[in-house]
Chain A
Amino acid sequence: MADFEPKIIAFCCNWCSYAGADGAGVARLQMPTNFRIIRTMCSARVDPEHVLRSLAKGADGVIVLGCHPADCHYIGGNYRARRRIALLKMVLDQYGFDPKRLKLEWVSASEGEKFQITITSFVNDIKALGPTPLKEVE
């Protein structure tokens, strides 16, 4: 497993976490390359189906990043994201899929360092879990 390089999809909201990722760049904070960001306007735009599709297509992990509670650019979208992801993790668990492959975290526009730490630790968590059991047979 030493050379396992996970594929991770990171959904970032436009106003806080995507800006936080940019902030990490501006501060030149280094982190693993294993993730790809998909930008949505709000974390509440992330449909559970997007997460399931990512996992079904072979993503080893999915992380959804939004504004901190009370900081949502759209009043309360992050609260809805929080509920949806919590529910989705229960569903994943019930189907025997490790819910640790899905994570929700808050990163503000000024938290480049938190972005770095969050991504790095999630990559490490997924490395510890190993490749997704849904890996397509090639």
Chain B
Amino acid sequence: MTKSALVIGGGIAGIQASLDMADRDIHVYLVERDATIGGVMCRLDKTFPTNDCSACILSPKMADCNGHPNVDVLSYSEVIKVEGKAGDFKVTVRKKPRYVKMDECTGCGICIEKCPVKKIPDEYEYGLTNRRAIYIPHAQAVPRVAVIDPVHCRKIINDKCGLCEKACGKGAINYADKEEIVTLEVGSIICATGFNGWDAKLSTEYGYGRFANVVTALEFERMMCASGPSGGHIVCPSDESDPKRIAFIQCCGSRSSKKGSKKYCSSVCCMYATKQAIITKEHADVDEDIFFMDIRSYGKEFESYIRRAEDQYKIKMHRSSRVACIEEDANTKKLTVSYTDAKGDPQAGEYDLVVLSIGLNPPDGAEEFAKILGIELNEYGFCATKVSDPLSTSREGIFVTGAFAAPKDIPTSVAEASGAAGKAGAYIVGKDFVPCAPKVFPPEKETIGKEPRVGVWVCSCGINIGGVVDVDKVTEYAKSLPNVVYTSKSMYACAQDCLEEISREIKEQDLNRVVVAACTPRTHEPLFRNACREGGLNQYLFNMANIRDQCSWIHTQEPEKATIKSKDLLRMTVAKSLLLEPLQGSKIPVTGVAAVIGGGIAGMSTALDIAAQGFPVHLVERSERLGGSFSKYIGVNYSVDGVNLGEFVSDLIKKVESNKMITVHKNAKVKDIPGYVGNFKLQLDTKEYPVGVVVLAVGASEYKPTEYNYGKDGKVMTLTEAEIAAGSGKFTGKDIAFMQCIGSRNEKTNYCSRTCCANALTNAIAIKEADPNANISLFHKDVRTYGFREELYNKAASLGVRFLRYDPGSEPVYDGSSMKAYDTVLGADVEVPVDRVILSCGITPDREEKEELAKMLKVPISKDGFYFEAHQKLRPVDFATEGVFVVGLAHWPKFMDESIAQAAGAAARALTIVSKQELTSEGITASVYDDYCDGCGICMGCCDYNAIEIVSDGAGGLKSHVNPGLCKGCGCCVAACPVSAMEQKGFKNVQIQAEIDACLDMKGGA
């Protein structure tokens, strides 16, 4: 029997994990507590640092997940019991009653309009607005099905009302709905339950809940969002006036030992607050101040984002400022923020609106959830994990991803989600694994060369369309259109009876085109396409006219004009349909072998994760030994977070070298890697190996310092040298200075190397613990111990490590025996005697080596010199070039546990390809008319996916060639071609022209 996997939590992490497993033909149950999937991300307005619209990038994934044949989404459900063991879990799930039949509800929302219970705080909008007793969580909800809140529904409470039942044309309301208990048999489980925002009422000094104009960052996110309660217009809640001055207060509920607060750093707030300030500034003329202790912009492109906020947007950064309290003027509702400035002097400022950057807490009910699953939590209440195995929980077969393991940002959650999917998949794809069988449809009828016979269905959608548009007239009009041989009016075209009618009439009427005038193809095209396939018609011969979302709903007051418009839209759709052609995605064979370039921790972990699932790996290392930058710890007794690095890396090398699936190529240089997804050729010095995917794990190096007389003064050493000296028992020094940001965050290198603060503090603590009399000073610009690593900061401070902050530009001066600096916190010059100077060197990208491989694989490099992934938020380990992945320090500086988690992610993404016999490409790809093409190459230049090559036409000339395996079907090259030699299938020039012509046939404007 085919075993399934279970994913708990339908936020971005859970969605990604589900999709990665489903794409490997593993059946997945996705259990979500809320009525819709999407989690916190679907409530966000924009995402940093690209300011991508959150809904734009997440909605397609939500729809993919819900529509995936291998995923069963159990929304509004909770796991209540887990029995059994890894490979063989029995999970009990409670499906809460929705009181609305999932299969019948069309999400039209008419019931909601009729519901008389109006004043219920809308949870999705964090109570900023109200909802009714029957509601759809939000506009992009998936599944888009209404749900009744039984606590407020009058019919359910005391059998009065029943208006929604009367309003629903589909009979979808079921007041007698009962909770349902189901048992799932699964091989492995992924916990992706996310986080909860900190409850700002726990600290009374902020006045949250008392002062109208103090809001949390999550509330502010909804206020910013175009689909939010104020339509994206930011107003003061007290009187809906436009705020002129806004304060953002960082570390609310984080980095504090006060009661109700958390000691750790929530990792994402500095960035999200800066994003909110930037976006607000783009929309309104406001003064904005951010109050923070350290600004923690340690991620990819974060540092330049912060600089932009300061320099370009003139957002005022109040450094080292902890806000003491907020007071409200009872009359004006204006807020006075009292704070201590960087020099320690008390200050106050008046603001119209204050946004609290609330931290990330463990999800609600984490303790009970952990008990049900039998997994351990850490001291902070998040899921406990190990640095050497960051995706595993304490119970075998149960994995964790996303913010449930620690506060983290979206890309890290997504990379980990893929990783957890890979690990969880390993418990399912054993010897007796039966992949989910693809659905089998009847053979497709021959349509080429035949006169089009069009069937038209016009949907009333209850009264959603029919209440505005005269559907009878539109149906009648359809009969007059060319080649239309069958018309039908339907109450709900998406209902099962109509879908069956479509399949049946394709056969009975010998239809070879199907047109449905109804809602939007974005949600319903897959459904109708399937109905066509059931009837033996190629799915690309289906076309849809959007007469609901883009007509009846937006022209409610103008029924006559809306009817004319519906006719026009139908005419355009039929005109295009006559020219549609049957399409098939091309089949691309796949070589089930992976190449991993780079034999460091990230590369070895990736290789092991791929090999563990039975696929051969070529691991290419340019040096004579594996281990990468960690190989220097071999034979040294040096530990971080309880892991002896030397032993860990030796052990990893042993595992790799003894793994029969992994071929290690040492001292090997990659000459070239021609090919494309599924079919690359890895060319090494002497031999060529066919591979299906390529993972770039080429790492980065420690910056080689010239600062502070390094190399000439024996007292000065790098942090790594200090670690190795300490691990060999040779470290000496009594008056020690740690110098942060060496080779980072300066004129030449303006990014943060992410790991140096925590690494320096780990060493400082070790030195201090071994010798309490040691005098340690740490010179820094900010201390960036994000997440649980904040504990290092607290511990170091409590052990007496001195923190001295200097401003960029006034770096400390070393004279051979003392370090002089201006300490901005003390507001005074300080001089510290030193007999040991430790340079916390940053990470440099080794741009030259990366560029060589980048040229071979046609992948981009960011301005900082690291590889640039396909999408910073949602495709963190993929390149835009399909079949090529990036992992580890080649992507960005990161800690060992982060590299290992990312490696698991890259391995899982690679497995979605190498585990397949063949890939099916998009049907709507570009193609070339060889007769017209003169090989000018304009198309190649504008293809962002490197899908186009200019090749010999065999007769001395050149021509363009589109690789359907790489083409994504955007059609950019088609519009660029100067001689009309390119076409996009499904969006051909003649097809679009037919739509244009049919549109302008309209008699008089509508």
Contacts and interface: CB of A to CB of B under 8 A. Distances in A.
21 contacts: A7-B1000, A28-B554, A28-B556, A30-B557, A33-B555, A34-B1005, A38-B999, A46-B975, A47-B974, A50-B993, A54-B999, A68-B53, A73-B970, A74-B972, A76-B944, A77-B970, A80-B942, A108-B56, A108-B226, A112-B139, A113-B231
A75 B226 contact: no
A84 B1000 contact: no
Contacts of B521: 39
Interface string A94-114: 000000000000001111111
A5 B971 contact: no
B861 to A, nearest CB: 15
A57 B996 contact: yes
Given A25-B553, A33-B555, A70 B975 contact: no
B992 interface: yes
A34 B484 CA distance: 26
Interface in B440-486: none
Interface in A1-23: 4-7, 9, 14-16, 18-19, 21-23
A14 to B, nearest CB: 7
Contacts of B60: 15, 73
Interface string A42-70: 10111111100110011110000001101
A19 B558 CA distance: 23
B944 A74 contact: yes
Contacts of B59: 19, 109
A77 B880 CA distance: 14
A31 interface: yes
A59 B568 CA distance: 14
B974 A9 contact: no
Interface in B563-590: 564-565, 568-569, 572
Contacts of A23: 139, 227
B55 A6 contact: no
B520 A45 contact: no
Contacts of A7: 999-1000, 1002, 1005
Interface in B41-65: 45, 50-57, 59-60
A22 B993 CA distance: 23
Given A15-B56, A33-B1006, A77-B944, A48 B549 contact: no
B53 A54 contact: no
A37 interface: yes
Interface residues of A, number: 62
B954 interface: no
B227 A110 contact: yes
A92 interface: no
Given A5-B1006, A28-B556, A41 B987 contact: yes
A29 interface: yes
B880 A75 contact: yes
A103 to B, nearest CB: 17
Interface in B482-497: none
Given A46-B975, A47-B992, A116-B554, 17 more contacts: A5-B1005, A7-B999, A23-B139, A24-B550, A25-B549, A25-B551, A26-B553, A27-B227, A33-B561, A33-B562, A42-B970, A44-B975, A54-B996, A74-B945, A77-B972, A108-B53, A109-B140
Shortest beta-carbon contacts, A-B, top 3: A45-B971, A25-B549, A5-B1005
Nearest to B973: A44
Interface of A: 4-7, 9, 14-16, 18-19, 21-31, 33-34, 36-42, 44-50, 53-54, 57-60, 67-68, 70-71, 73-77, 80, 84, 108-114, 116
B800 interface: no
B550 A37 contact: yes
B1005 A53 contact: no
A54 B1000 CA distance: 8
B970 A38 contact: no
Given A21-B549, A28-B553, A36 B999 contact: yes
A6 to B, nearest CB: 6
A7 B996 CA distance: 11
Nearest to B989: A47
A110 B572 contact: no
B997 interface: yes
A53 to B, nearest CB: 5
A96 to B, nearest CB: 21
A27 B139 contact: yes
B128 interface: no
Interface string B227-248: 1000110000000000000000
Given A23-B227, A36-B568, A109-B53, A53 B970 contact: no
Contacts of B558: 33
Nearest to B982: A47
A116 to B, nearest CB: 8
Interface string B869-895: 010000000001000000000000000
Contacts of B976: 44, 80
Nearest to B1001: A57
Nearest to B572: A36
Nearest to A38: B995
B56 A45 contact: no
Given A22-B549, A25-B549, A47-B975, A30 B554 contact: yes
